[in-house]
Amino acid sequence: MNKRNLAIVIVIALVVVAALIWTALQNNSGAAFAALDNVQVGQAFLDRLTSIPNSTFASVGVGAAGGSIKKISNSPELTLGGKPEVLYIGAEFCPYCAAERWPMIIALSRFGTFGKLHYMTSSSSDRYPNTPSFTFYNSTYTSDYVAFVPVELTTNRQINGTYPTLQTTNATEQQIGAAFSPNGQVSFPFVDFGNRSVLSGSTYSPQVLSGMNWTQILGQIYQSNSTISQSVVGSANLLTAQICLATNNTPSRVCSQAYIQRIEKLFG
């Protein structure tokens, strides 16, 4: 055996390890989060995000969620393919959309299955820069109970002072946004739950997610007493109740939960 060769192997390995550690230290920062933009979310992460125990949902209830959800009366149902439609209008740059996608994914996953979700951060030059989130652009969603239609209007990186367009709303979606928004100005995120209720803006502040990476946020979601859980899980329960109202409380395994019924009563 050759001591010199062994020493070389040791030196090379130590240099590699030091470089990896240094890189890892750099990567836990807001600007570095953007390196994950458009990287597909792994199945293991997605499974964990969508496997929150019912006991956690029940324990949090509405939690610290709030925001502006309004009941809609005397409007025809919004449907697609025979199912109530949940229409989301937002943008990748938008920090409030970034915050809201977490509970939206959790809530919608109780009615169906997401695929091809990708990581995304909010704009680095807006309030709450680089908020860790996801994008609904190019994602898939399948459900027996609800049709989810996401529209991400722009990217999160300015070019010549504007955010490039990703998707556009059709005439119906524009009408809906204008009709149910204060002063006809759509606030992002805008979510229409089958024309039974609408959300304008986020149900909690993106500040709650500040300084955390996706893994840390996910870990905190499971701690029902944490600020993040109270905000994200509380919001997910609020959104779940809106979806239940749109689907006439199906499936019952979700909508008949006592904490969902209590929230539904808040909206008459």
Partner 1 sequence: MMLAKNAVKYQAVLVVIGLIISGYLTAYHYFGGVPLACSDNGVVDCAAVLVSPYASLFGIPVALFGVLFFVIAIALLVLRSREYLLYWNTAGFLFLFYLWFTELALGKICIYCTAVHAVVILLFFISLFTSGELKE
The Cα–Cα gap between 72 and 99 comes to 24
Span interacting with partner 1, options 35-43, 87-95, 120-128, 231-239, rule CB under 8 A = 35-43
Q: CB–CB of 102/6 below 8 Å?
A: no
Counting contacts by CB under 8 A, is residue 9 touching partner 1?
yes
3-state SS, 169-236, equals CCHHHHHHHHHCCHHHCCCCCEEEECCCEEEECCCCCHHHHCCCCHHHHHHHHCCCCCHHHHHHHHHH
Q: Total binding residues for partner 1 by CB under 8 A?
A: 34
Counting contacts by CB under 8 A, is residue 31 touching partner 1?
no
Interacting residue with partner 1 among 30, 34, 46, 204 (CB under 8 A): 46
Interacting residue with partner 1 among 29, 31, 39, 179 (CB under 8 A): 39
Q: Which is nearer to partner 1, 36 or 166 (CB)?
A: 36
What residues between 208 and 227 interact with partner 1 by CB under 8 A? 213-215, 218-219, 222-223
Counting contacts by CB under 8 A, is residue 10 touching partner 1?
yes
Span interacting with partner 1, options 24-32, 94-102, 143-151, 175-183, rule CB under 8 A = 24-32
Amino acid in position 10: I
Counting contacts by CB under 8 A, is residue 55 touching partner 1?
no
Q: Which is nearer to partner 1, 16 or 178 (CB)?
A: 16
Q: Which is nearer to partner 1, 78 or 98 (CB)?
A: 98
The Cα–Cα gap between 127 and 228 comes to 19
Amino acid in position 191: V
Q: Which is nearer to partner 1, 53 or 164 (CB)?
A: 53
Residue burial 186-211, b: 16+ Cβ < 10 Å; e: rest = bbbbbbbbbbbbbbbbbbbbbebbee
Span interacting with partner 1, options 3-11, 104-112, 173-181, 225-233, rule CB under 8 A = 3-11
Nearest to 138 by CA among 92, 177, 106: 92
Counting contacts by CB under 8 A, is residue 28 touching partner 1?
yes
Q: Which two tokens stand for residue 171?
A: 């005439």
Q: CB–CB of 130/36 below 8 Å?
A: no
Span interacting with partner 1, options 36-44, 84-92, 182-190, 252-260, rule CB under 8 A = 36-44
76, 90, 146, 179, 187 from 72: Cα distances, Å: 10, 20, 18, 11, 17
Q: Which is nearer to partner 1, 36 or 58 (CB)?
A: 36
Going by DSSP bridges, is the β-strand pair 68-71/197-200 parallel, antiparallel, or unpaired?
A: antiparallel
> What's the residue count for the chain?
268
Counting contacts by CB under 8 A, is residue 5 touching partner 1?
yes
What residues between 139 and 198 interact with partner 1 by CB under 8 A? none
Interacting residue with partner 1 among 42, 164, 182, 211 (CB under 8 A): 42
Contacts with partner 1 by CB under 8 A lie at 1-6, 9-10, 12-14, 16-17, 20-21, 24, 27-28, 36, 39, 42-48, 213-215, 218-219, 222-223
